[in-house]
Amino acid sequence: MSEKKRRIISVDYLARVEGEGALYIQMNGSTLEEVQLKIFEPPRFFEAFLRGRDYREAPDITSRICGICPIAYQMGAVQAMEAILGLEVPEPLRSLRRLIYCGEWIESHVLHIYMLHAPDFLGFPDAVALAKVAPEAVKRGLRLKKIGNTLMTLLGGREIHPINLQVGGFYRLPEKTELLALKPELEWAREAAIETLRWVAGFEFPAFEREYEYVALKHPSEYAIHEGRLVSNLGLDIPISEYERHFEEEHVARSTALHSIHTGHGAYFVGPMARYNLNFEQLSPSVKALAEEVGIAEHCHNPFKSILVRSLETLYALEEALRLIELYQKPDTAFVSGPLKAGKGHGCTEAPRGICYHRYEIDANGLILNAKIVPPTSQNQKTIEADLRHLLPLYLDKADPELQHLCEQAIRNYDPCISCSTHFLKLEVARA
Amino acid sequence: MLKPLLVLGIGNGFRKDDGLGPAIIKLLQRSDLQGVELQTQSGEGSSLMAAWQGHEQVVLVDAVCSGALPGTVFELEASEQVIPSRFFHYSTHAFSVAEAIEMAKALGELPQALTLFGIEGADFGSGTGLSPIVTAALPELLLRIHNRYPAYFQIFQGEIPHA
């Protein structure tokens, strides 16, 4: 055997991701021997401790899975319970849910664009270093994020782990005047989101595209956020109640988060790029025009450009928020209810990072018999590893530090939320 | 007339010693303090920056998880020191107390005086109430706050209220 050079790239604690994970890459000459995204944050057993709890507690327990995307967990839980009880959540409660979800998309996307991902493209170790040379951009990002938090606080009771969603609706409804008071800041934010898009469009993107199976919700009349059927670009089209017939979870030793696969197909891609590629037509005319301006009209298959897609989705969420606020009329009741019954129900919404699936079974007393929650990051794990396997051979001439940075950036393309995935990154690259 | 002093108590009252910040706010609310504004905060970075915007003097109280002996009382001047990012036990979320302070410095938005007070926690498990060792350190913490901003806490006159 010829003398090949073994290289190991190893990152113990991945920075600028939510939670604790690591990366280990081992190469022998130009042969890639190992690519492991390791997730070692302790598993949190949420599904186990939901058992035996009252069905009404599920949204407040599951909201604790994540401080960045609690609404995704609350909404999946309440939808599943509403499906069991046969409750239809009427307008304007349905739209209010979409509005609070817009708040979550805004705060989560803006955090990722400015604090976690932009420093990668501009060669800074973190957002603080970026702030020293581009203070105006960072100030814009912080103010933009704040409007997302403000929406969450107004509709959710507080910005982190909101407490105002319940099965059937809300606890307290906002006054129209409280919502209208947000309009001036939302209008500023809409312009700031356009500036954000033009700012990130100036970044240099590694040339990298491959074929993916994108999976996202699809709704007949709107860009899906909190309702829809599950579709993919490879022909999947199912109601969410059939999720478990088409997707399975498997345990791999390197991760405390289960890996998901589309049965018979393998790895798939969830999140902003999946939504964008599947539902582009349903974005607003202004978002579509800007997509064309930055060169990703209709499709985007380069995950490094997900920062553009997140910026477009931020703009869309702000436009939606303004639209929903205009339409809002406070109803007489904050929630709907119905007789308790035993059954099984499903919920699935588009968390900022992709689809978040829930299934619960409750007994005639309303106690939870079992629960299953599949967060977006665990579904993307296999695709992230596959991206690295495709990316590394293209950049073997790079020195270890540059290669390591490129790998970390490729992981951050997915805005992984490890805390969610374990319902909890670290990078090792080994070159032999 | 005194310049207003903003006291921000950071933490989660349902994670035992992480509830230090809110516990201090509750305790100070019982005293009739003049010129002091009290606020509880979750520790989310952008909200913290918004909370102290426009304030010249800020006291920040938070539980510390640094590996020091539980019950150790800390006092840091934000303008003089770099705040280590893993110092405050909040979460692994990427933008929290330390990052908010360092970001405010980079943006030139740090209040003229921002003093952090903390106690090394012993127990960050689920549940309410501070551990005995942190409770025992409260008088020293309050005394340090008093000594740093004596004009606002004269009411204590050496008598530190009990938690």
Q: Do B93 and A18 touch (CB under 8 A)?
A: yes
Q: Which residue of B has its CA nearest to A131?
A: B106
Confidence band, pLDDT 50/70/90 cuts, at residue B39: very high
How many structural domains comprise chain B? 1
Residues in chain B: 163
Query: Distance between CA A123 and CA B151 in Å, rounded?
Result: 46
Give every CB contact of residue A254 below 8 A, 6+ residues apart in sequence. A24, A36, A37, A38, A39
Q: Is A227 exposed, middle or buried (0-12, 13-18, 19+ CB in 10 A)?
A: buried
Query: Distance between CA B20 and CA A380 in Å, rounded?
Result: 37
- Confidence check: pLDDT of B68 > 90: no
Q: Name the β-bridge partners of A228.
A: none
Per-residue pLDDT at B87:
58
Decide which of A43 and A275 is more confident: A275
Residues of A in contact with B103 (CB under 8 A): 127-128, 131, 138, 142
Question: Percent of chain A beyond pLDDT 70?
Answer: 93
Cβ distance A355 to A260 under 8 Å?
no
Average pLDDT for residues B105-113, to the nearest whole number? 93
Min Cα distance B106 → chain A (Å) is 5
Confidence band, pLDDT 50/70/90 cuts, at residue B89: very low
Residues of A in contact with B92 (CB under 8 A): 18-20, 41, 418-419, 424
Per-residue pLDDT at B92:
46
- Let me know if residue B161 belongs to a domain: no
The parent domain of residue B62 ranges over: 5-155
Query: Distance between CA A40 and CA A12 in Å, rounded?
Result: 10
Residues of A in contact with B49 (CB under 8 A): 142
- What CATH number should be reported for the domain holding residue A354? 1.10.645.10
Per-residue pLDDT at A41:
65
Average pLDDT for residues A409-428, to the nearest whole number? 66
Per-residue pLDDT at B91:
46
Q: Is B101 exposed, middle or buried (0-12, 13-18, 19+ CB in 10 A)?
A: buried
Average pLDDT for residues A37-66, to the nearest whole number? 85
Per-residue pLDDT at A419:
63
- Let me know if residue B58 belongs to a domain: yes
Q: Do A135 and B108 touch (CB under 8 A)?
A: yes
* Amino acid making up residue A127: A
A32-46, A130-144, A238-252: least confident range? A32-46
- Element (DSSP H or E) covering residue A191: helix A183-201
Residues of A in contact with B93 (CB under 8 A): 18, 67-68, 419
- Confidence check: pLDDT of A416 > 90: no
A67 inside 8 A of chain B by CB: yes
Predicted TM-score (pTM) of the model is 0.88
Write down the ipTM of this complex: 0.74
- Let me know if residue B136 belongs to a domain: yes
Average pLDDT for residues A69-81, to the nearest whole number? 94
The tally of CA atoms less than 13 A away on the side-chain side of residue A63 is 22
Confidence band, pLDDT 50/70/90 cuts, at residue A258: confident
- Confidence check: pLDDT of A114 > 80: yes
A160 inside 8 A of chain B by CB: yes
- Let me know if residue A113 belongs to a domain: yes
- Let me know if residue B60 belongs to a domain: yes
Query: Distance between CA A328 and CA A184 in Å, rounded?
Result: 17
Q: What DSSP string describes A359-418?
A: EEEE-TTSBEEEEEEE-HHHHHHHHHHHHHHHHGGGGTTS-HHHHHHHHHHHHHTT--BH
- What CATH number should be reported for the domain holding residue B9? 3.40.50.1450
Confidence band, pLDDT 50/70/90 cuts, at residue B30: confident
Average pLDDT for residues A390-396, to the nearest whole number? 91
B141 inside 8 A of chain A by CB: no
- Let me know if residue B162 belongs to a domain: no
Q: What is the pLDDT of residues A421-430, one digit of tens each?
A: 654 223 333 4
Q: Do A111 and B107 touch (CB under 8 A)?
A: no
Per-residue pLDDT at B161:
55
Confidence band, pLDDT 50/70/90 cuts, at residue B13: confident
Q: For helices A376-391 and A400-412, give the axis angle rounded to 10 degrees.
A: 150
Number of residue pairs across A and B with CB atoms under 8 Å? Answer: 58
Q: For helices A135-156 and A306-327, give the axis angle rounded to 10 degrees.
A: 40
Q: How many CB atoms lie within 10 A of CB B91?
A: 20
Residues of B in contact with A142 (CB under 8 A): 46, 49, 103
Q: Do A159 and B44 touch (CB under 8 A)?
A: yes
Instruction: State whether residue A144 is helix, strand or coil.
Output: helix
Average pLDDT for residues A249-267, to the nearest whole number? 87
- Element (DSSP H or E) covering residue A275: helix A272-279
- Let me know if residue A67 belongs to a domain: yes
- Confidence check: pLDDT of A1 > 50: no
The parent domain of residue A162 ranges over: 46-388
Mean pLDDT, chain A, integer: 91
Query: Distance between CA A89 and CA A79 in Å, rounded?
Result: 9
Among candidates B95, B105, B108 on the partner chain, residue whose Cβ is nearest the Cβ of A115? B95
Cβ distance A178 to A154 under 8 Å?
yes
* A window 327-386, beta carbon within 8 A of B: none
Per-residue pLDDT at B155:
64
How many structural domains comprise chain A? 1
Query: Distance between CA A413 and CA A305 in Å, rounded?
Result: 8
Q: What is the pLDDT of residues A132-176, one digit of tens each?
A: 999 999 999 999 999 999 999 999 998 778 899 999 999 999 999
Among candidates B49, B94, B102 on the partner chain, residue whose Cβ is nearest the Cβ of A142? B49
* A window 167-206, beta carbon within 8 A of B: none
Per-residue pLDDT at B66:
81
Mean pLDDT, chain B, integer: 86
- Let me know if residue A422 belongs to a domain: no
Structure tokens given for A121: 């493209």
